[in-house]
Chains A and B, each alone.
Chain A
């Protein structure tokens, strides 16, 4: 390593002010500080410092995302072959989860890796542009956002859209506020929200969740074959409050027991493991919880937010069960925690420390309200089958307000000490 160190740091003068490649300093700084923690020393104050830095913290989040990524790769492949099997009988056996595992993984890789690469490439390019303008290297925030963005996308979303959304999110969502640590909205959700509203056909409906649905439909003369469905569990649920309820592709009549049909079509265990269609990384509650366990154990994410988020969702689900005004409200509350992106959002999006509430009590309120709001949007607003993205973005905006009240409590408590004395 000494040799490498020598080679790299012999280049130092060329990148410093007045050096030959001075303009490339941000790039050089990024690479050299990645390889070697710099030799900066403390000046005064605390002469010793904790070993932790933002690189290690962010790396841990990326690590915690790996279960979701891996499961997403497999799941993308699985649903691709599932939907193909309706026009292509040779894949019929693939409807079983483990049959054709290798094929599914390969297909998933072909779909998901480009998304990841495009997201990182577009985002890092923007980060470096701003790095060059401001003369500093890459700040680590985007390393996480770059992984989150592809995981929130349907697998078939065109790559150029991912690029545009990422650029939009990094520029408008983050850099205009001053970069990592300064943003108001979660960057990855900003990217998703941008696409959701700018290109709704690529981000919603029942043709985007299983990769290759369009191709299949062409072969099937644009009619969804019997038994096939491109909808997510949430899509089905949203149809319960409309005129023609659907469960897993089957049109139901309003006299049927919709809840029982839903429960048999979406077994809670399968939904928990993630064997349901959806965005690439969001479907597996299990994988998200695995990541969540890593983040809570290492203290990178706030357990307060994660737990209260789940609690908020569950409580509001139960409240809806209690109200029970329609079939959707009657679906057991716990379903909300295991379908859609609830767990993924609670673990990875809501806990973004920059955009979440920052005080301890604020985090609990933020999580509770975020979880409740997610279910509220899902159940009571049929225009948006999935509520987690909007709920978290809304809570991002509300977080400073929550913190404000927590801070006021602290101030009042502190002042009270002198009144009684």
Chain B
């Protein structure tokens, strides 16, 4: 029953700065943070206070509207500060790790022998649940719904994306254990989707109790939203859960060893980073230890995640909960004279999906792109550009317009339930009118959550 999907549309943005295949241990971070902002729409209710001692796996806060969902500390140490923003919204809970490895223990169990309810309860109680995200809405999964399937994408196709084949290599047992746990959570299937362009690691190839699918083509082939769309699409009222492969390993490890495993392998990428490698660090770790000594230049932007969907962070900022990549790009805050690097330049330095630039002449060139908008915001004028990079059978322009006009009926009919902001990242990239499309899609999803869920 495995499915093979071939995408004809999409865009691979070729950037300078892939990480070398070398795993190194990052120094123990001086600080780690749990950021409620990583979980869209979450209103955290604090359990621990500033100054409290916490262990690995101690609950820090829970979801105010769904108290069962708990968020736990990835390290043992002391809560140093709760950083608040406007209206006292909690932005970060910073924890200073001590050298000890105190952890909340749990009786190791084979997930295959547990019922779905037991797996769910264990995951909720021990802070593993937030690894599950749900479609529609692209938020932390609601434990009260029954997902019709669970999707794991075995690869990431974003620019400079980390290679999950390399990251999970050798973790076969834990990965399988994690899949066994996930299988209990759904009456449907667990889908593992491999990259059809290259052979996958044995960890993925040999996975059991899952349906293995292949998808080939350009980005967004690796996006789980694309895979859901072609393999098992969701209708209104249906739910699908999604998990990152590295988090599947963490789930598997938890059940095997009885302890929350916060370690993550993170790729340092981007044209402005030196020593681009895979660093072994901790969920929510301060990136200072990885980034600060490895910058090529001063005027840079550090992104937790990739260049298309990541979150801008400080040089001393914290890794996002779901991210396995740090990207460092040149900041584009310079004026560009129109005939040289500006709008009328020859454009050999720009990567464009439009034939207005000579990108098509140099198929294999890699680009050093900065964060400049390359133009000013305008009303929608150009049509057809987004359709070229949108492989889903969704009309991007029409859906975005429905969102902008808050037309809920049209949004539903045009497929808002199937998409996440990241599915529109390429549309945002190619948009001539420089409209922040991912943000618009998120606004649409928020409206749907408020009115229809």
Contacts and interface: CB of A to CB of B under 8 A. Distances in A.
A34 B335 CA distance: 11
Interface residues of A, number: 59
Given A41-B331, A181-B433, A407-B414, A53 B376 contact: yes
B375 A55 contact: yes
Contact of A56 (B356, B370, B380): B356
Interface string B329-372: 10111111110111110010011111111000000000001111
A40 B235 CA distance: 39
Nearest to B238: A418
B286 interface: no
B432 A54 contact: yes
A360 B337 contact: no
Interface string A292-317: 00000111101000000000000000
B344 A181 contact: no
Given A51-B374, A411-B414, A36 B353 contact: no
A181 B380 contact: yes
B82 to A, nearest CB: 23
A359 B309 CA distance: 27
Contacts of A298: 354-356
A47 interface: yes
B381 A57 contact: yes
Contact of B381 (A47, A51, A297, A353): A353
A320 to B, nearest CB: 32
B337 A5 contact: yes
B446 interface: no
Interface in A350-401: 353-354, 356, 358-360, 363
B67 interface: no
Given A37-B336, A51-B357, A414-B393, A354 B381 contact: yes
Interface string B403-432: 000000000011100000100010011111
Contact of B353 (A1, A33, A50): A50
Q: Chain B interface secondary structure, helix, strand, loop or mixed?
A: loop
B429 A37 contact: no
B68 interface: no
Given A9-B335, A36-B338, A52-B352, A57 B311 contact: no
A253 interface: no
A320 B397 CA distance: 38
A56 B397 contact: no
B432 A41 contact: no
Contacts of B289: none
B182 interface: no
Contact of B378 (A35, A139, A360, A418): A139
A36 B310 contact: no
B337 A46 contact: no
Given A33-B376, A48-B329, A299 B335 contact: no
Given A51-B350, A57-B356, A46 B438 contact: yes
Contact of B373 (A42, A59, A139): A42
Interface in B279-311: 301, 303, 307-311
Contacts of B312: 43-44, 47
Of A44, A50, A139, A178, chain B has the most CB atoms within 10 Å of the CB of A50
Given A53-B434, A299-B356, A36 B342 contact: yes
25 contacts: A5-B337, A33-B376, A35-B338, A37-B336, A37-B343, A41-B331, A41-B372, A46-B425, A47-B308, A48-B13, A48-B15, A49-B372, A53-B376, A54-B432, A55-B375, A56-B343, A180-B381, A353-B381, A356-B383, A358-B384, A360-B387, A410-B414, A413-B393, A414-B413, A417-B233
Interface of B: 13, 15, 159, 233, 235, 301, 303, 307-312, 327, 329, 331-338, 340-344, 347, 350-357, 369-376, 378-385, 387, 393-395, 397-398, 413-415, 421, 425, 428-434, 436-439
Which 4 A-B pairs give the minimum distances between C-beta atoms?
A53-B375, A181-B379, A51-B350, A45-B438
Interface of A: 1, 4-5, 9, 33-57, 59-60, 139-141, 178-182, 297-300, 302, 353-354, 356, 358-360, 363, 403, 407, 410-411, 413-414, 417-418
Given A45-B421, A56-B356, 10 more contacts: A38-B376, A43-B312, A48-B307, A49-B372, A50-B432, A51-B357, A53-B432, A56-B343, A140-B378, A179-B379
